[in-house]
Every structure is written in structure tokens, then in C-alpha cells.
Amino acid sequence: MADSVATIREQAREVNALVENAEAIVETVSEDAGVGRVDLSTVAAESADHVAETFDATVTTDLPERAPAAANDAVQSVVNNLAENALEHNDADDPRVELAVTNCDESVRLRVADNGPGIADSRKPEHFEPNDGSRHGGGLHLMETLVESYGGEVRVEDSDAGGTAFVVELPRCDSDFL
């Protein structure tokens, strides 16, 4: 009985987090973004913990102590989407994903790289297009929309591990106010 109660509580916390995240996404895409300073290192660490608990995979991070980016709470869904996709579409015997954050002069860079099958160069651009009935596109299209609403950009490239890497550049935000 105690296990059932603990499971229900955990599921309720997850649903509550999804609702809060959905509210942040709606505000962001409706141009009422409320963009401020978000520590991308903290967001990436939370996402790494989440996917490590959810997937049977190796999850590593390379994170600076802090990485102040211009974003809002919906950036968590961006990072989660990329990390989850890296593992959901990974057919390696030992699936691995690395979340790395780098402070640059004008931006903060997130790189989510995997050791999966990779994406052919000719197919990389279409992964951001919403395609009804497709296995890809919807979440990545929303993620791209959120990143662009922060004044950032996203690209897909090959991973050093042989798979795919998604790279998100967000404006650096060293002040509390924009």
C-alpha cells in the first residue's frame, strides 16, 4: 500500500510539473514570454537527472558552475525534449547522451549529443518541421519556436560519438533584468 501511495504522489508531482511547464510554454509562444535570467547549467542538470531515472542509458554532463541565459521556465521543456529524443531514438547497445553547457561571450550554448544512429545531412533540416503522422517534428518544432522566442537559435549536427548533436544558443544574460 505504501508503494502505491508513493507512486501516486510521484505521478501527481509529475503532472503538476507538466501543467506548470505548459503554462510557461503558452506564455512564451503567445509573446508574453516573461524572459529573464535562467541558469542553463541547473536546467541541464535537472534534465540529466530526469532522463537518467527514466531511461536505461548512460547520461553524462559537462556543466559550468553557472550559465546565465535569457529564457524562462519553459526552457526546461527544451532541454528535456532534446535529452529524451536523444535516448528514445537511440538504437545503440549502450545508449549514451551528454548534456554540455558552455558560456560564450554573447551566448550560452547547450549541446545534447548521443551515440545513436545519427541523421543524414539531407534530413537534418526537416526535423524542425511539424509533420502530421510523423515520428519527429512536433516536439522539435515547438522547441525551436521557444528557442527563437528567447532570441536564440538551434541547429543539428553530427556528434563526436557517431550520433546526433542538437546545439542551442541562447543570449547570455548576466543581469537580473532584460
Residues in the chain: 178
C-alpha cell read off for 154: 538551434
- Mean pLDDT computed over 172-176: 79
Output phi, psi for 59, to 5 deg.
Answer: -120, 120
List the beta bridge partners of residue 155: 167
User: Are β-strands 107-114 and 153-158 bridged in parallel, bridged antiparallel, or unpaired?
Assistant: unpaired
pLDDT band for position 98 (cuts 50, 70, 90): very high
Give the contacts of 48 (CB within 8 A, at least 6 positions apart).
59, 60, 61, 83, 99
Query: Domain spanning 2-171: which superfamily?
Result: Histidine kinase-like ATPase, C-terminal domain (3.30.565.10)
Residue 84's nearest CA partner among 29, 140, 12, 19 is: 140
Question: Would you say 158 and 165 are in contact if contact means Cβ atoms under 8 Å apart?
Answer: yes
Rounded mean pLDDT of the chain? Answer: 81
pTM of the model: 0.78
Tell me the domain boundaries of the chain. Answer: 2-171
- Mean pLDDT computed over 43-49: 97
